[in-house]
Amino acid sequence: MAEAQQISVHNKFENFTKTETGDDLFTKAFKVNDVLKSGALTGNEGLGMVAGDKLQGEYLIRNKSGEFRSVIMLGSNSYLNLSTHPKVIRAAQNALNKFGYGMGAVSNYVGITDIHKELESRIANFYKTDAAIVFPSGYGTNVGVISALCSEGDVIINDSANHASIFDGCRLSGADIKVYPHSDMKGLERVLKKIPEEQTGRLIITDGVFSMDGDIARLDIITELAREYNCRVMVDDAHGVGIVGETGRGSAEYYNVIDKIDLHVGMLSKSPGGLGGYCAASFEIIQYLRLYARTYFFSTALPASVAGGLNEVFKLFENDNAGRDVLWEKINYLKSKLTEAGFDIAHTQSAIIPVMIYDEEKLFKIHAELLRSGLYTNIVTYPAVRRKECRLRLCAMKELTFKQIDRAVKILEEAGKKFNVI
Ligand SMILES: Cc1ncc(COP(=O)(O)O)c(C=O)c1O
């Protein structure tokens, strides 16, 4: 009994991050492993599964006991299914054949090819900026851009729901970090008013589409406030690019403020279906980042095959809509079915649809039930969101069939009723 109680006190993710007095540095890792073996670390059951075959709208996944099962996939960020688009694969294969599977050097030391340069100009052209820089990781893009441009004495103003990589970049920069409540524009103005006049290095950063809520930042108001309070604006539109806005140019296009954003950051790993991230901006800023963004300067360049595939993706974005209209039909259908079933899906405006559960214990039980019934969704709780705002995170994909969506909602409905969520 005493042992069981001890485990339950220590079974939260955040209890294993510090070295306790008298412990060796690695003791926390051994402790968390003991708790994992006991099965008492809540929340990790749904993590670490392995993808097998990807069929249309369904994946084979292998769970921890080694069994494969087929699930309807509502947990992938490849919203437009571009990672398996035949033209994209062909372009990646051509680049692979020509340049091999790794670059063997960082970008500034001949780690890049004309394929990489083409990708940067396609991205710059997409946002109508002078230039763009491509980083080998999305996470590293935010960390690199922010820590290069901001330092001690500057101030960075963040939406509370910004992605972890943004906050990590802010911390690394040494700048003052201010946070306003999620999408609270009055809150943003309150923060801006309090910044001392002499603190002139000011950057507002926001996700474009918020990664856990699916709503779009009020870039119309943010850019207006930035002008009034002399701030630069950076938007991380990881989940907006290719999907939101009239021509898929993302959240800034949605509010018609593309030319008012100083730093267009985006990830090549979500709707573009590849890997890496980018920043599109003025020529001088991109040149500066090539020298001062440490996650660019000190990190091996993106494989040419990925860059080659991504060139094809940006051609599709420019020329044939990349199936955006079809995706939106699926998004709207899934949203209406979930609402009809009585689920709280918050205020999503994108392919990310949160299904709010608000109770962590229920969340884990529901997730396990969904898996048993053949549906995969992401499971989101601390540290990605506050525990009391825990949820399932559903992602719509272009290739899901309406029949699969019906089946998915039916599975969700049964689980929701069983655990009194609807
Ligand atoms: C808003 C946002 N920014 C940055 C990242 C990091 O991108 P990547 O997974 O490509 O490293 C993510 C990924 O989860 C994200 O959602």
- The answer, yes or no, to whether residue 53 has pLDDT greater than 50, is yes
Contact 396, 351 (CB under 8 A): yes
Q: How does DSSP classify residue 106?
A: B
Place of tokens 């040419």: 304
Indicate whether 350 belongs to any domain. Answer: yes
Angle at CA of residue 235, ends 146 and 204, nearest 5°:
65
Q: How confident is the model at residue 52 (pLDDT cuts 50, 70, 90)?
A: confident
**Domain-embedded: residue 36:** no
Task: Show which of 319, 350, 380 is a domain's final residue.
Answer: 319
Instruction: Specify which residues 68 forms β-bridges with.
Output: 62
Instruction: Tell me what pLDDT residue 10 has.
Output: 57
DSSP string, 152-202: TT-EEEEETT--HHHHHHHHHHT-EEEEE-TT-HHHHHHHHHTS-TT---E
Contact 191, 202 (CB under 8 A): no
Q: What is the overall mean pLDDT for the chain?
A: 93
Residue with the smallest CA separation from ligand 1 atom 10 is 138
Tell me, what CATH number does 126's domain have?
3.40.640.10
pLDDT digits (tens, 9 = 90+) for 411-422: 999 999 999 999
Asked if residue 340 and residue 312 are part of one domain, the reply reads no
Could you tell me if residue 38 is inside a domain? no
Asked if residue 389 belongs to a domain, the reply is yes
Q: For residue 41, what pLDDT is reported? A: 66
User: Looking at residues 131-139, what average pLDDT do you find?
Assistant: 98
**Pair (243, 328) in one structural domain:** no
Q: What is the pLDDT of residues 61-89, one digit of tens each?
A: 887 778 888 999 999 999 999 999 999 99
| Residue 5 predicted with pLDDT over 80 | no
Express each pLDDT in 351-376 by its tens digit: 999 999 999 989 999 999 999 999 99
Q: Which of 146, 158, 214, 211 is nearest to 182 (CA)?
A: 158
The answer as to whether 174 is a domain residue is yes
pLDDT score recorded for residue 383: 86
- Do 55 and 129 fall within a single domain? no
> Could you tell me the pLDDT band of residue 322, with boundaries at 50, 70 and 90?
confident
User: Domain of 59: which CATH number?
Assistant: 3.90.1150.10
**Ligand 1 centre distance from Cα of residue 5 (Å):** 37
Instruction: Taking residues 248-272, report their average pLDDT.
Output: 98
Residue 346 reports pLDDT greater than 80: yes
Question: In terms of domains, do 109 and 232 share one?
Answer: yes
Which residue range(s) make up the domain with 304?
84-319
Q: In terms of domains, do 160 and 209 share one?
A: yes
Residue of 267, 275, 352 to mutate, ligand 1, most atoms within 8 A of C-beta: 267
Count of beta carbons in the 10 Å neighbourhood of residue 145: 31
Q: Give how far Cα 260 sits from Cα of 110, 161, 282, 346, Å.
A: 33, 22, 12, 28
pTM here? 0.94
Is residue 6 predicted with pLDDT exceeding 60?
no
**Residue 316 in this model has a pLDDT that exceeds 80:** yes
Q: Is residue 192 part of a domain?
A: yes
pLDDT, tens digit (0-9, with 9 covering 90-100), for 370-399: 999 999 999 999 888 999 999 999 999 999
* Rounded mean pLDDT, 284-294: 98
CA of 23 to the centre of ligand 1 (A): 34
Domain boundary pick from 319, 336, 360? 319
Does 133 lie in the same domain as 90? yes
189-208 per-position pLDDT tens digit: 999 999 999 999 999 999 99
Ligand 1: which residues within 6 Å by Cβ? 137-139, 142, 163, 165, 207, 211, 236, 238, 267, 269, 277
DSSP per-residue codes, 373-392: HTEEEEEE-TTTS-GGG-EE
Centre a 10 Å sphere on the Cβ of residue 65 and count the other Cβ atoms it contains.
5
Contact assessment for residue 36 and residue 44, using Cβ atoms and an 8 Å cutoff: yes
45: confidence class by pLDDT, cuts 50, 70, 90 = low
Instruction: Quote the number of domains for the chain.
Output: 2
What value does the mean pLDDT take over residues 156-168?
A: 97
Assign 11 a pLDDT band (cuts: 50, 70, 90): confident
Residue 1 predicted with pLDDT over 50: no
Dist. CA 410 → ligand 1 center (Å): 30
Same domain, 227 and 372: no
Three-state secondary structure call for residue 76: coil
Q: pLDDT tens digits, residue range 98-121? A: 999 999 999 999 999 999 999 999
Decide: 28 and 4 in contact? Cβ < 8 Å. Answer: no
Antiparallel, parallel or unpaired: β 131-135 and 352-356: unpaired
* Residue-level pLDDT at 43: 63
Question: Given pLDDT bands bounded at 50, 70 and 90, which one contains residue 283?
Answer: very high
pLDDT at 93: 98
Residues 328 and 309 in one domain: no
The pLDDT score that the predictor gives to residue 335 is 98
281 and 406 share one domain: no
Cis check: omega of the bond before 86, within 30 degrees of 0 = no
Whether 63 and 110 share a structural domain? no
User: For residue 9, is it within any domain?
Assistant: no
In the chain, what is the greatest distance between 2 CA atoms, to the nearest angstrom?
Answer: 66
Predicted local confidence at residue 7, as pLDDT: 43
Same domain, 171 and 254: yes
Query: Distance, CA 208 to ligand 1 centroid (Å)?
Result: 12
Of 83, 145, 162, 129, the residue nearest 291 (C-alpha): 145
From 76, 77, 139, mutation site for ligand 1 pocket: most ligand atoms within 8 A of C-beta: 139
H-helix or E-strand spanning residue 277: strand 277-281
- Please identify every residue annotated as catalytic: 211, 239, 270
**Residue 360: exposed, middle, or buried by beta-carbon count in 10 A (0-12, 13-18, 19+)?**
middle
Shared domain check, 386 and 296: no
Ligand 1 atom with the shortest distance to the CA of 267: 10
**Per the structure block, which two tokens stand in for 211?**
């990664």
Work out the pLDDT band at 58, boundaries 50, 70, 90.
Answer: confident
Domain termination site, one of 319, 346, 373: 319
Which are the contacts of 273, defined by CB distance < 8 A and separation ≥ 6? 78, 80, 81, 82, 83, 84, 85, 88, 309, 313
- Model confidence over 168-191: pLDDT tens digits? 999 999 999 999 999 999 999 999
Average pLDDT for 262-281: 98
Distance 407 CA to ligand 1 centre (A): 29
